[in-house]
Amino acid sequence: MLPRFVIVPAVPISKDSFLPVSRVYTSLLSDGYDIYDNLAKLRLKPSYQCKGAADIECAKMNIGSIHPQKPDPLLGSDL
């Protein structure tokens, strides 16, 4: 079973270094790391610059989804 929240690389941002001859971007920059919600199927904001900070926040969110303190609006109240 997949955890609800996982870390994914942020969507790359392309530089203005497009080569029209080869039609290839010469470099793509990652803007850090995002947390992806497998249940809602979306990337959560904010993005994290270092993977360590994203790991800590992701672990907190996964623990919170296993042992919720309040009802999760995505899961509903019938749990």
Q: What is the dihedral of CA 41, 46, 47, 49, to 10 degrees?
A: -150
pLDDT of residue 55: 95
Distance (Å, whole) CA 74 – CA 56: 22
pLDDT of residue 1: 78
pLDDT of residue 79: 45
Contact assessment for residue 11 and residue 31, using Cβ atoms and an 8 Å cutoff: yes
Q: What is the pLDDT along the chain (79 residues), one digit of tens a residue?
A: 789 999 999 877 655 555 555 555 445 556 799 999 999 999 998 889 999 999 999 999 999 887 766 655 565 555 4
